[in-house]
Amino acid sequence: MSNSKILVTGASGQVGQVLYRHLVGLHGEDHVVASDIHQLDGFSIFEYMDITNQHRIREVIQRHKIDEIYHLAAILSANAEQNPTRAWNINMSGLLNILEAGVEFSIKKIFFPSSIAVFGNHANLDMTDQFDAQHPTTLYGISKSAGENWCQYYAEKYDLDIRSLRYPGIIGYTTLPGGGTTDYAVHIYHEALKQKKYECYVHADTVMPMIYMDDALRATSELMAAPKKNISIRTSYNIQAISFSPSEIADSISTYIPDFEMSYKIDFRQTIADNWPRRLNDQYAQNDWGWAPRFDLNKMTKEMLENLTLQPTIN
Ligand code: SER
């Protein structure tokens, strides 16, 4: 147990809910404040907080004497394309509000999730380097790319200890994703168990980088626990875990559900996926704080199917 008082923004989201529980496990429930515009059951301390409302952010930080923030509130890639203004307000103004509050209240550490979406087709998408060209083609990617630079600026100018990961698509069994391009890799497991079939919106051979939720949580807490002197990247770290295509995940599911059937109906998310890395070089994460994934595709499939079988499938 620690003495930190932690605020999680976007705590009702796909990652927020699970990260909240993970942090409660590490620090104790009195030390973690969940915040979002939707309240769910299961939060010991919850504050309604719209991330675009700076006054409210200040109030919550003061009331709970917050000294560490995990800023997860964001609009994901597919949803951002449908609502640019909302994506700008939440992804950009929301981050700026957190950074400003970070300076004002001398917040000790801030976590900002960035994304593989910061890269575009001027990067080497087969093995994207830490400092590869960023020409994002989605509003979400543009906001995360700018966000990384805002973070680095605040880290350098104000010595704010902001740490960040470029999350790949995150796959877990307790929560559903909310409007990303990598969402299929979660929905496919639910549908495989429910209907033994899935209609995928990207081509069979479209490879995207993904990560199992346990690995994503561990990466986040290992990064946050690393000594400050080890953190050489103040924009955001590349992390690599598993890269696969829809046909490969379908094959992996078929080893457990032999009559599983995959079909394809391609939509606008194909263009997004085509401009994202297929695999990333994560040597800085390995060297600076010892990153190594533990789940490969088949181990993840086994865990997903076993756990989803034990608990009711979410619709
Ligand atoms: N999973 C995210 C998305 O698809 C990528 O960061 O939007």
CATH 3.40.50.720 describes domain 6-168+212-238: yes
Q: Is the pLDDT of residue 1 over 60?
A: no
Q: Residue 109: helix, strand or coil by DSSP?
A: strand
| Contact in structure between 111 and 164 (CB atoms under 8 Å) | yes
Average pLDDT score over residue span 138-160: 97
| Contact in structure between 52 and 37 (CB atoms under 8 Å) | no
Reported as type and span, the H/E element at residue 192 is helix 184-195
Q: Residue 298: helix, strand or coil by DSSP?
A: helix
**pLDDT value of position 315:** 44
CATH architecture assignment, domain 171-209+241-279+294-309:
Alpha-Beta Complex (3.90)
Q: Is the pLDDT of residue 145 over 80?
A: yes
Ligand 1 site residues (CB inside 6 A) read: 76-77, 115-117, 140, 167, 169, 180-182
Q: Is the pLDDT of residue 225 over 90?
A: yes
| Contact in structure between 233 and 288 (CB atoms under 8 Å) | yes
Token digits for 114?
């960035």
CA dihedral 22, 220, 97, 85 (to 10 degrees): -100
DSSP of 225-236: HS-GGG---SS-
> Domain segments of the chain: what residues?
6-168+212-238, 171-209+241-279+294-309
Residue having the nearest C-alpha atom to atom 2 of ligand 1: 180
Average pLDDT score over residue span 105-114: 98
Average pLDDT score over residue span 271-283: 97
Residue having the nearest C-alpha atom to atom 6 of ligand 1: 115
Q: What is the whole-number distance in angstroms between the Cα of residue 243 and the centre of ligand 1? A: 14
Average pLDDT score over residue span 285-289: 98
Q: What is the whole-number distance in angstroms between the Cα of residue 62 and the centre of ligand 1? A: 32
pLDDT above 90: percentage of residues in the chain: 96
Q: Which of 175, 181, 213, 220 to mutate to test the pocket of ligand 1 (most atoms within 8 A of CB)?
A: 181
Band (pLDDT 50/70/90 cuts) for residue 312 is: low
| Contact in structure between 107 and 101 (CB atoms under 8 Å) | yes
| Contact in structure between 49 and 42 (CB atoms under 8 Å) | no
- The length of the chain is 315
Band (pLDDT 50/70/90 cuts) for residue 182 is: very high
Rg (CA), the chain: 19
How many other CB atoms are there within 10 angstroms of residue 25's CB atom? 12
Residue having the nearest C-alpha atom to atom 3 of ligand 1: 180
Band (pLDDT 50/70/90 cuts) for residue 311 is: confident
Q: Is the pLDDT of residue 197 over 70?
A: yes
Q: Which residue has the tokens 């079988």?
A: 309
Which is the closest atom of ligand 1 to the Cα of 167?
A: 6
Q: Is the pLDDT of residue 255 over 80?
A: yes
pLDDT tens profile 17-41: 999 999 999 999 999 999 999 999 9
- CA distance linking residue 77 with residue 301, whole number of Å: 24
How many other CB atoms are there within 10 angstroms of residue 40's CB atom? 15
Q: Which of 14, 75, 77 to mutate to test the pocket of ligand 1 (most atoms within 8 A of CB)?
A: 77
**pLDDT value of position 147:** 98
pLDDT above 70: percentage of residues in the chain: 98
Question: Active-site residues: which are they?
Answer: 140
State how beta strands 6-9 and 242-244 pair: unpaired
Q: What is the mean pLDDT of the chain?
A: 96
pLDDT tens profile 117-138: 999 999 999 999 999 999 999 9
Residue having the nearest C-alpha atom to atom 1 of ligand 1: 169
Which is the closest atom of ligand 1 to the Cα of 276?
A: 5
pLDDT tens profile 73-89: 999 999 999 999 999 99
Which is the closest atom of ligand 1 to the Cα of 169?
A: 1
Which is the closest atom of ligand 1 to the Cα of 166?
A: 6
Band (pLDDT 50/70/90 cuts) for residue 2 is: low
- CA distance linking residue 24 with residue 18, whole number of Å: 10
